[in-house]
Structure 1
Amino acid sequence: MDVNAVFADAVARQNQGDWAGAEALYRKIDKSRAGLAPVCWNLGIVLKAQGKWEDALSAFKRAGKADPSFRGLHFHIGMCQQRLGRMADAAASFLKAVAAEPDDPTTRFNAAAALRDQGRLAEALEQADAALRIAPDFMEAQLLQTKLRTAMLPVWHVPMVNDQPRNDAYEAAIKAHVKPGDLVLEIGTGSGLLAMMAARAGAQVVTCEAVPWIAETARAIIAANGLSDRITVVNKLSTDLTVGDVLPRPADVLLSEIIASDFLSERVVPAVADAKARLLRPDARILPARGGIACALAGGEVLEKHLFTGLTNGFDLSGFNRLYPRSVRFDARETQPHRLSNVAEPLSFDFTAGPVPSGERVDFTLTAETTGRCVALAQWVWLDFGQGIRFENSPFIDAPASGWQPGFFLPSSPFAVTAGAVVPARAMHDTINIWLSLLT
């Protein structure tokens, strides 16, 4: 057999898209002269074109055994592993491909996708960013980068740092309670804004950020603002800190804004309790000192359209309401809620006092102040910094951008209330979650 002639015929068939014909000829050569790198490589290509991923993977590996320097080897191996659902192997292969061809944006993109599928989001974003530095108009990489950034940095973060009333409350509290020479421990660096406020007040700051790429970005922001000598960003959870390491002594002030929209679900209670027990002076100032949730009966036509359905185009769709979650969160400006009752504060947490109970259940009542149609129990958060400094994000007050979204806890169906009517309700928490219920 003239191997060169058969190989040329196979290549011609491959170029014409005759995958099966090319495969047959490559296999014929391989049977006669097993393990030739170009034959195994081209066999892998035509098998891949036919979706024969396992056979293609075997062919590419044999090509690599014969010639480990074969250009594109690890990329094609990764493609086969990806199609076979072997995501960890695919990620490892694509990273080898990146090491071999660091300036190939497609290789970077595929590495990013495989790392994303492994849940390795920070590494995936690094590869997507690199692909776009090489090829700024790479649309698939732009899409993947945006999805990764959304997953890693929720979209509420930017409006949170642009929430001027919140920022003003924190700065007023820092000016009132932080003294020059204080050591401030901050939990949750984020953008570095609060740490820089504390440094501007004369403190030395140690601030924790568990997400590596957020910590790195915060360091860059702090350096750009000329405060690197006063702020140390630690890429750790506060629970992993010890006094005598990066925290030179027990802190004079604890500063945090790990407050969730429901107050608790960012685990502020256990984080503060741990810091008080191990990382703070006994007389340390805690900012915020107290906080909790507030709530009121809410109505409004726009809000109801977001929460309930009924008669639509002549059909009764109210049965669909049973599938809707009993608690949702919306930007208040989007839903335009109307307050129908007084405001209650059924759950509050004092960080300066003893341990927060591991769970509480509180019954309370709300009194309607106007006649209307109640569609939800609205919930928001409040913070008390002491010395008359307080912040809340009431959904009934027009406000600028905010990272905290009010919650709306739904009854089984909307109901009418008249001024003076008393509506019973219940609140509970387990230190991580809160739940509210209208007892109607």
Structure 2
Amino acid sequence: MMNDRERNRAYRRAIEATVRPGDLVLDIGTGAGVTALMAARAGGHVVTCESNPHTAFLADRVIRANGYGGRITLIPASSTELVVGRDLPGPPDVVTAEIFDCGLIGESALRALDHAHRELISATTRLVPRGGRLWAQLVESESLHGLNQVGEVEGFDLSPFNAASTRGYFPGRVDRHPHTVLAPAFRLLDFDFGEPPAPRTRHLTVPVTADGTAHALVMWFELDLGGGIRVSNHSAGSGHWEQAVQTFPAPVAVRAGTAVRLTARHDLDALSLGLEAVRP
């Protein structure tokens, strides 16, 4: 992740375009400290946080080794534990965050942003990133399905073990698995990080363009970092993120010219998906 040049370059350009000299910057989930260092180099006074104590210890060493110990305050805690007036002198001018997993919201990104809107930031706070979009595509792939579901093995029925299958999405390099695209890519969900996040349910009808069996939904995101700067985990990219794969416990047979009905629900912590064929 730290060697992901595409991600690093995009965040550097966005932070340099957003942070002004003297700005108070809140960096959420610092990891190795890269985004905090970028914000400090751009002229900001940075308060950054990291919930993993070992990671926070190493990030502090990185920050000091690069000579920014006087411009960056690192707090070994989750951003949801921060308090304005105690940990921050006031609402930050800028918030930076790189707390996104392969499906965008699985690392409690919405939970952190919800708390930030309620307790930390003001109406004039500038965010990097500004928002995100989740794309999806229906595929046939026994290989992807087999990453999360099991049936007969050497003449034995192992399907009861599917009770332990992952219910949500999981990361996977889709281009490493044989698969057939059953429908064009479509926009699944849009997120405006400048607004407080809220649970949503969305119903979509997806036209099918090829005969086959819908084994999985493959998802990827686009992050809007501002100023036309974007970063994505599409399979054609070179970044460190894998794609998000949601397998269906009961694959759905589909035919070209028909459609499937997809229900997408998310709260502040997780995304759930349901799929059914639309009868002609």
Q: For 1:197, give the aligned amino acid.
A: M
The answer as to whether partners of 2:149 and 2:162 remain within 8 angstroms in 1 is: no
The residue matched to 2:147 in structure 1 has which SS? Answer: helix
Verify: 1:198 aligned to 2:39, yes or no.
yes
Q: Distance in 2 between matches of 1:351 and 1:204?
A: 22
The alpha carbon displacement at 1:268 in A equals: 2.1
The residue matched to 1:275 in structure 2 has which SS? Answer: helix
Output aligned runs, 1:10-409, within 5 Å.
160-300=1-141, 302-307=143-148, 315=155, 323=163, 324-332=165-173, 333-335=175-177, 337-353=179-195, 355-357=196-198, 359-394=199-234, 396-402=235-241, 404-409=242-247
More strand by share: 2
The 3 A distance-change label for structure 1 pair 298 and 288 is: same
TM-score (norm: length of structure 2): 0.84
* Unmatched tracts of structure 2, length 5 or more: none
The alpha carbon displacement at 1:207 in A equals: 0.2
The 3 A distance-change label for structure 1 pair 284 and 377 is: same
The 3 A distance-change label for structure 1 pair 269 and 330 is: closer
The alpha carbon displacement at 1:301 in A equals: 5.2
The residue matched to 2:110 in structure 1 has which SS? Answer: helix
Q: Distance in 1 between matches of 2:225 and 2:219?
A: 20
The answer as to whether partners of 1:253 and 1:286 remain within 8 angstroms in 2 is: yes
Q: Distance in 1 between matches of 2:162 and 2:214?
A: 17
Corresponding residue to 1:413 among 248, 251, 266: 251
The alpha carbon displacement at 1:422 in A equals: 1.8
The residue matched to 2:74 in structure 1 has which SS? Answer: strand
Q: Distance in 2 between matches of 1:379 and 1:326?
A: 15
Q: For the pair shown, which has the larger CA radius of gyration, 1 or 2?
A: 1
The alpha carbon displacement at 1:384 in A equals: 1.5
The alpha carbon displacement at 1:196 in A equals: 1.1
Identity rate, percent? 35
The 3 A distance-change label for structure 1 pair 249 and 407 is: same
The answer as to whether partners of 1:298 and 1:375 remain within 8 angstroms in 2 is: yes
The residue matched to 2:124 in structure 1 has which SS? Answer: strand
The alpha carbon displacement at 1:318 in A equals: 8.5
Q: Distance in 2 between matches of 1:249 and 1:270?
A: 21
Q: Distance in 2 between matches of 1:216 and 1:311?
A: 47
The residue matched to 2:32 in structure 1 has which SS? Answer: coil
The alpha carbon displacement at 1:265 in A equals: 3.4
The residue matched to 1:259 in structure 2 has which SS? Answer: coil
* Residue of structure 1 equivalent to 2:267: 430
Q: Distance in 2 between matches of 1:176 and 1:277?
A: 26
The alpha carbon displacement at 1:248 in A equals: 2.5
Q: Which of structures 1 and 2 has the larger relative contact order (alpha carbons within 8 angstroms, sep 6+)? A: 2
Q: Deviations over 1:128-148 (max 9, x none)?
A: xxxxxxxxxxxxxxxxxxxxx
The residue matched to 2:90 in structure 1 has which SS? Answer: coil
The residue matched to 2:39 in structure 1 has which SS? Answer: helix
The answer as to whether partners of 1:361 and 1:427 remain within 8 angstroms in 2 is: yes
TM-score (norm: length of structure 1): 0.56
Q: Distance in 2 between matches of 1:336 and 1:301?
A: 8
The 3 A distance-change label for structure 1 pair 337 and 327 is: farther
The 3 A distance-change label for structure 1 pair 298 and 165 is: farther
The alpha carbon displacement at 1:178 in A equals: 1.6
The alpha carbon displacement at 1:439 in A equals: 1.5
The alpha carbon displacement at 1:434 in A equals: 0.7
The residue matched to 2:123 in structure 1 has which SS? Answer: strand
